[in-house]
Amino acid sequence: MSGHIFKVRLQIVRQGGTQKRAKKAKGPGILSLLPFLPFLCSTLPYYLKPNFENVSRHQGEIMDLNLTPDEQQFRDELRAWLQANVPQPYVGSRNEEEKGAYFDYLRNWQGKVYEAGWASISWPIEYGGRGAALIEQAIFQEEWMRAEAPPLINVLGLSLIGPTIIAVGTEEQKRRFLPKILSAEEIWCQGFSEPNAGSDVASLSTKATLDGDHFVVNGQKIWTSIAHYADWSLLLVRTDPTVPKHKGITALLVDMHSPGVTVRPLKQLTGEASFNEVFFDDVRVPVINVLGEINKGWSTAIATLMNERAHLGTGVYIQFKRNLDRLISRSHEIKRNGKPASQDTLIRQKLAQAYLELEVFRLTVMRALSRMQDQIIPGPEGSILKLQWSELNQRMQQTAMEALGPHAQLHSFDEGQWVFNYLRSRANTIEAGTSEIQRNIVAERVLGLPKSY
């Protein structure tokens, strides 16, 4: 997008009631590549990797793919700031079980990003964002990847909870919470899943009983990301057990430092502990911390889940692209049968397939963003993104294992990133809604198919 520029203009020409496409292109436009996909599957890693500079912008019957002067200025401003401010890569332990040096490194970085006004460009200006248009958000993601900037530590607050507060929160809640989400002064987690309510979140049993101007919360959550160093949680609780399960739920903003909150990290296959069990024993939460309406928390939950599935798509592309670039680079160095792995026909095909799938994913993200431009809350297209990136990453990590061979299994090789990524990817098709759940959502809400039960 921000690298090599390919200018493609597509115009629909009406002739005798039919439509034909006339194309003028400088460089290999995406449509001109289609006849050569079989060839590209075995050769693409050795050729130029095109990035398309922009999202399509319709002008009557013409689709113009060029950045406007304002968009170019936005890109140049962001690129210059990143070049001047991206810190040196962190060196040392990245233990996620406690607030250590790496936590401070990431929090300080987000604070710097916030002070410069780049923390969440998609948020409205009045809430600390830039009110960025979709094309600017796409440019931002590409430039962030290009600069290899560190991640923002408060990712759940920025991409899930913050947008939900903006959509359904009170003005007091917006004033109280949004600035500290942006600055990473307060880190957020999301308390939805329970031992008996994972994919079927509405079956949750954590209860909240009204006691004066407070709710008293009792119950357990599980698989709660970063709860071990979170300051606040968006918590779903049952406030009316007498009505159907979707109707008796309330969303609460809960201080994780409240008496009665206990967090227990869960060791994963990778050896890290980014997920947690969280126990609530007579935890008092002010009624003013209800997000949305009492007993109507399911709509709040849906807003958060749709943000989760849509915004994870825009973020993971950066990580996946970096990983694939490193894998291709390593495949030129690792030997298989006395020759670089990149010269193995099967490995070349799989690397090319990973590249093509990643580009399809990037374009699908942009299509989803364009559908979201007139919506405050994303729709079910987020499920398509989540399904796509989770399964794409598992295939790509399998390819890495095959391409790099025994080296990829060593923690001493590339700091163990390949074995970590492979093991971690197994959770992708479970977290944020299983692939089975996503396919049901796509079938029912996108394709309009009848329920399967």
64 class by beta-carbon count within 10 Å (0-12 exposed, 13-18 middle, 19+ buried): middle
Q: What is the pLDDT of residues 48-68, one digit of tens each?
A: 233 333 344 444 434 345 778
Q: Among 13-17, 118-122, 386-390, which is the least confidently predicted range? A: 13-17
- On the question of pLDDT at 214 being above 80, the answer is yes
Q: Which CATH architecture has domain 303-446?
A: Up-down Bundle (1.20)
Q: What is the pLDDT of residues 394-445, one digit of tens each?
A: 999 999 999 999 999 999 999 899 999 999 999 999 887 789 988 988 898 8
Dihedral sign computed on CA atoms, order 88, 91, 96, 102: negative
Q: Among 87-96, 157-166, 251-260, 402-411, which is the least confidently predicted range? A: 87-96
**Every domain of the chain and the residues it spans:** 7-66, 70-183, 188-295, 303-446
* Residue 97's pLDDT band (cuts 50, 70, 90): low
Q: Which CATH architecture has domain 70-183?
A: Orthogonal Bundle (1.10)
- On the question of pLDDT at 292 being above 80, the answer is yes
Q: Among 13-17, 339-343, 423-427, which is the least confidently predicted range? A: 13-17
Per-position DSSP letters for 346-412, written without gaps between them: HHHHHHHHHHHHHHHHHHHHHHHHHHHTT-SS--THHHHHHHHHHHHHHHHHHHHHHHHGGGGG-TT
- Indicate which residue of 53, 186, 308, 359 is catalytic: 308
What span, in angstroms and rounded, lies between the C-alpha atoms of 105 and 90?
8
Q: Among 121-135, 283-297, 308-322, which is the least confidently predicted range? A: 308-322
What span, in angstroms and rounded, lies between the C-alpha atoms of 167 and 300?
9
* Residue 209's pLDDT band (cuts 50, 70, 90): very high
Question: In Å, what is the CA distance from 88 to each residue of 82, 130, 184, 328, 413?
Answer: 12, 27, 20, 23, 21
- φ/ψ of residue 406, rounded to 5: -60, -25
Spatial contact of 142 and 317, defined as CB atoms under 8 Å apart: no
- Mapped onto helix, strand or coil, the DSSP state of residue 318 is helix
What span, in angstroms and rounded, lies between the C-alpha atoms of 49 and 392?
19
Q: Among 1-5, 98-102, 354-358, which is the least confidently predicted range? A: 1-5
- φ/ψ of residue 56, rounded to 5: -60, 140
The end-to-end CA distance of the chain, in Å, is 43
Nearest to 250 by CA among 197, 297, 301, 193: 297
- φ/ψ of residue 315, rounded to 5: -80, -40
- pLDDT above 90: percentage of residues in the chain: 57
Type and span of the H or E element at 211: strand 207-211
- pLDDT score at 265: 94
What is the radius of gyration, based on Cα positions, of the chain? 23
| Helices 345-372 and 381-404, packing angle to 10 deg | 160
402 is catalytic: no
Q: In what order do the strands lie in the sheet with 57-59?
A: 18-26, 7-15, 62-64, 57-59
pTM: 0.76
In CATH terms, the fold of domain 188-295 is Butyryl-CoA Dehydrogenase, subunit A; domain 2 (2.40.110)
Mean pLDDT of all residues in 22-29: 33
